[in-house]
Each structure stands twice: as C-alpha cells, then as structure tokens.
C-alpha cells in the first residue's frame, strides 16, 4: 500500500467528466421524454398528417439532441466551479490523503 496526497485536480478534466455524465443521463431522459411527448401530442392532436409529423420531429429532436447538449454545457460549468472550489479548499487544508495499491504486471 502506498499513501499519496492529492493537492490539485484538473479543472477542465473534471468539467469534461461531469459534462459527459450529464450527457449520458440526459440522453436516456430525452429518449423517454420524446416517446411520452410525441405520444401525448399525437393522442390529443386534431391536426393533419404533416402537422403531426413536423411536431413529432420537433419534439424528438429537441429531446434527443438539444437537451443533452444543454445538459453537457451545464454539467461542464458545474464541474469547473466545483473543481475550482475543491482546489481552493485542498490548497488551504493541505490536500486529500489517498491510499493506493500498485499491481504488478506480468509479461506474457
């Protein structure tokens, strides 16, 4: 076992990580929202075929493309702010102690 102390984290890398996690969650939520939104619209609609088709496409594209992009941007900003605060706090407190174990790699 080896003890190490983390005194700084990469602000942009944490931002990308949080943004990517948000995209994955938002994609699943967007798929479910597009199914529910399209179904609800089509059940309650009295419009013609092409109006329903365009509205359905707008709902699906918004939920599956726009929503994950917005959530990535918000997650990226959140990750940057949190990692900046984290760097300030661990800079003042002296770091965060971690215990790691090294694995031996065997050559084949």
What percentage of the chain reaches a pLDDT higher than 90? 56
Q: pLDDT by residue (tens digit) across 64-89?
A: 999 999 999 999 999 999 999 999 99
**pTM recorded for the entire structure:** 0.76
Q: Of all helices (H) and strands (E), which one includes residue 99?
A: strand 96-100
Q: Is the backbone of residue 53 left (phi > 0), alpha (psi -120 to 50) or beta?
A: alpha
């Amino acid at each position: 076992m080896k003890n190490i102390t983390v005194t700084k984290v990469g602000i942009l890398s944490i931002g990308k990580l949080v943004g990517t996690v948000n995209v994955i969650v938002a994609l699943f939520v967007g798929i479910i929202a597009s199914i529910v939104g399209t179904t609800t619209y089509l059940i309650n609609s009295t419009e013609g075929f092409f109006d329903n088709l365009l509205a359905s496409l707008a709902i699906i594209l918004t939920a599956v493309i726009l929503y994950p992009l917005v959530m990535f941007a918000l997650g990226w900003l959140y990750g940057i702010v949190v990692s900046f605060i984290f760097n300030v706090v661990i800079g003042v407190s002296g770091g965060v102690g971690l215990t790691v174990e090294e694995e031996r790699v065997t050559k084949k």
